[in-house]
Structure 1
Amino acid sequence: MSCFTVGLDLGQGADFSALVVVERVLTLPPSVSIGQYYRRPEVFEPAMAEALHVRHLRRWELGTPYPSIVSDVSTLMRSPAMRDGILFIDATGVGRAVMDMFRDEYRRADFGCNVPIAVTITGGLQRNGWNVPKNDLMASILVPLQQGNLKVAEGQALGPMLEHEFTSFRQKITASGRDTYEYHRNPGDGHGDLVSALSLATFTSNTLRRPDVVENAETLGKGN
């Protein structure tokens, strides 16, 4: 089974709620085939790179009640492909009641195998449990993106919107030398909900499942 993490940004008031599913894979070096890897895994494992593939994007209509979102997400998480996935929820402003709805689904076995995790996004510098600085979350997107290890699967209807949101974030340096990120919002835009959901899905690995090993795109192109 695949190694999935899921990020959920719950909108408030006039904001969208959004969900992103990320699959982690281990990519072999160019010219190394799967057959070669399985014959001598100890030789090639040190050279493998982790890649993040965005497999699913969803945004709910404005005004969708939280119970409907909880039901939709629970249906996704208990599907056969996702049962071992881990859901990370931005619980910064939604309150305990919404998280309790998710935990109730888990206790009733109407969820996947793993307890949903509430993440509180902070403006600080140090992570404390599941209180996570926004800068750390953004870095979990920026670093693999700059390394060429973050890909959006083709055919995602919301792929262009995710790209638009990402390019609308502005990095600023405060007087104290700290990095901050602000979202430049145009009329009709969301609040960066897809990027927020993506960051929740990328900043922590699913340690319960080993990522699948895949061939490098260059290797596939050669027909090896």
Structure 2
Amino acid sequence: MWQAQPRSWRKWWKILAELKQQELLEEHRATVEYVADTLATIAGIPQRFVRIFQRIAPRDQNDLETIDVFYQRIKSYSIDELKSPDVFCKVFLNFEPTSYQLRLIADNSKRIAVMGCRQSGKSYALAVKVILFCLTHPGSKAIYTAPSFRQAKTSFRKVKEHLAMLNPVARRAWILEELKTKVRFTNGSEVEAFPYALDRLRGETCDFILVDEAAFIPDDEELFEGVLKPMMATRWERGAQLIACSTPWGTNNYFYRIFKDPHIAPEWSHQVWTWREAVAEGVIPMSFIENEMRTKDMNFFKREYEVEFVSDEGSWLTQDLINCCLDADERLWDFEEYHTGEFYMGLDLGKKVDYSVLTVVEKVGEELYVRHVKIWPLETPYSAVIGYVKVLSERFRTPYKILVDQTGVGEYVAEDMLNVGIPNLEGIVLTGPKKLEIASYLKQKMQENCKQDSKGKWSGTSRLHIPYLEDNELTKRIIAELNVEKYTLTKDGNIKFYHQEGTHDDVFWSLALAVYASGNAYRMSITPL
């Protein structure tokens, strides 16, 4: 029968490309079929062999060479070996997991609690775990959730980084669609980043749930017991997994109970490693750990590197109250930015032993937002501090009030700041009663809009918002120093503030001064310069 001939070069090239592809397939069909069958079987969809074959079919000589190299890598392994965590990481991801990462990836328990020291690779191990789970459980649904959607997307990014490293042949065979917060696989599985919202999560059906920064989630018990577990009810016998991962924070939350409560802890598999394992595996150099030991607050080091739960005993601000103030949807502003608003600044001065710290808060209605925190290195000249405050006050369009600690040498520094034209600046002497007044006002603002239960735990969202970004050094330090301030009663019944040796409370007093400046009480009792 007569057939119309193509009239454009584009159509001719398409026909020639299809003929070339058919020629390549005929010459190497056995190799391509073996690879397609292996990949389809690993993904649990051997019945879709033809579809996988079509997805990986070589289009040119380069594709054929890639398939041939991949064939040489997988031909010596059985299907079960290729699905094992160690071989899967090596063959498909070019990733050599540490012993503790491999232990986590291979853990098939229904409930897993994870605590690992900073920068030890727990996020990467969890990303591998969810990819392997979705591939070996066709038709499954996995979700990432965290205290904020931004944190969930940050954790989810590790999944996409591993998918980018996935062997190109396997990637074409297994990945159907890759979106910003969702990945769909050819076997019907999908993984998605979810915002933390009880109403949004309730009603979903899932096979794999990862809760990141679980110790910082409000209403955590309701989340785990009332929402997440029912979401997995119909998938429980199919190998469903619930994973809680976090830095240890506070002893009055559900994540702490997962490890310490004798009624809850036995239900969970605990995957824990410290800086020692990370150093032994060559992930973190010992010189870095030694530097962190010297320069960081001991409680901070215990939480972040020893992964220990630190008690709140004697702390002026408890960890659960600080947690109410953490806002993962906010960020700290940079020095180079220009802003307008109702700003208040608090400056705590130090030099040789203590740090100089500047905190800026913005008042928006009844809410207070921490916008900028600057911590100067030890031995920083006061002239550099003065210059910084002057420029920042200009960029933030004239703060309403700047409170400076003028105890000791602070009086002379405050006078120099006035002399260079820094506006709306006032000094304050931090005597014992004045410290109590300022610290009490800070605590009061943090407690506003929160509630305390019968066990003394604070919950809710505070009117004081402190930006919290995962893996951000400055925000971690701010949170740690807020919890470091202790208090005790003296013989005459007064409250005395102190901090343990090796710790610093400069951020605490800088924030307290800024918050105090935003209120009306300070106008009654400030010592004028």
Range into which the TM-score falls when normalised by the shorter chain:
0.5 to 0.7
By how many angstroms is 1:74 displaced?
0.5
CA distance in 2, matches of 1:151, 1:205: 14
Deviations along 1:128-167, whole A, 9 cap, x unmatched? xxxxx10011112211212222111244742221211121
Please name the residue that 1:146 is paired with.
447
| Contact preservation (8 Å) 1:8, 1:19 | yes
Greater percentage in strand: 1
Within a 5 Å distance, the mapping from 1:33-48 to structure 2 comes to none
CA distance in 1, matches of 2:410, 2:342: 29
By how many angstroms is 1:173 displaced?
1.9
Please name the residue that 1:6 is paired with.
345
When Rg is computed on C-alpha atoms for both structures, the one with the higher figure is: 2
By how many angstroms is 1:115 displaced?
3.0
**Paired residue type of 1:3:** E
Please name the residue that 1:88 is paired with.
403
Residue 60 in 1 paired to residue 361 in 2? no
Residue 74 in 1 paired to residue 390 in 2? yes
| Contact preservation (8 Å) 2:488, 2:495 | yes
Please name the residue that 1:194 is paired with.
507
Please name the residue that 1:119 is paired with.
428
CA distance in 2, matches of 1:201, 1:69: 16
Please name the residue that 2:435 is paired with.
134
TM-score, reference length from structure 1 = 0.68
CA distance in 1, matches of 2:475, 2:501: 18
**Higher RCO (CA < 8 A, seq sep 6+):** 1
| Contact preservation (8 Å) 2:351, 2:378 | no
Residue 22 in 1 paired to residue 361 in 2? yes
**Paired residue type of 1:75:** V
**Paired residue type of 2:427:** A
CA distance in 2, matches of 1:12, 1:84: 25
Specify the SS of the correspondent of 1:53: strand
Change (3 A) 1:13 1:102: same
**Paired residue type of 2:463:** N
Specify the SS of the correspondent of 2:424: coil
Deviations along 1:19-67, whole A, 9 cap, x unmatched? 10011122xxxxxxxxxxxxxxxxxxxxxxx221111111011111011
| Greater mean alpha carbon deviation, residues 147-156 or residues 167-176 | 147-156
**Paired residue type of 2:467:** A
CA distance in 1, matches of 2:360, 2:511: 8
**Paired residue type of 2:481:** E
CA distance in 1, matches of 2:369, 2:476: 15
| Contact preservation (8 Å) 1:8, 1:87 | yes
**Paired residue type of 1:153:** P
Specify the SS of the correspondent of 2:429: strand
| Contact preservation (8 Å) 1:3, 1:206 | no
CA distance in 1, matches of 2:410, 2:348: 13
5+ residue gaps, structure 2, are 1-339, 449-461, 521-529
Specify the SS of the correspondent of 1:203: helix
CA distance in 2, matches of 1:146, 1:205: 16
Specify the SS of the correspondent of 2:414: helix
CA distance in 2, matches of 1:96, 1:15: 17
Specify the SS of the correspondent of 1:88: strand
CA distance in 2, matches of 1:51, 1:178: 31
Deviations along 1:46-104, whole A, 9 cap, x unmatched? xxxx221111111011111011110111110111x331432111010115431221011
| Contact preservation (8 Å) 1:12, 1:94 | no
**Paired residue type of 2:383:** P
| Contact preservation (8 Å) 1:58, 1:158 | no
Please name the residue that 2:30 is paired with.
none
CA distance in 1, matches of 2:465, 2:377: 25
Aligned length: 166
Deviations along 1:161-198, whole A, 9 cap, x unmatched? 12111211112122222222211242xx4x31111110
Deviations along 1:101-131, whole A, 9 cap, x unmatched? 101111xxxx3xx33111111113xxxxxxx
What do you get for the CA RMSD once the two structures are aligned? Answer: 1.9
Change (3 A) 1:192 1:146: same
TM-score, reference length from structure 2 = 0.30
CA distance in 1, matches of 2:374, 2:391: 14
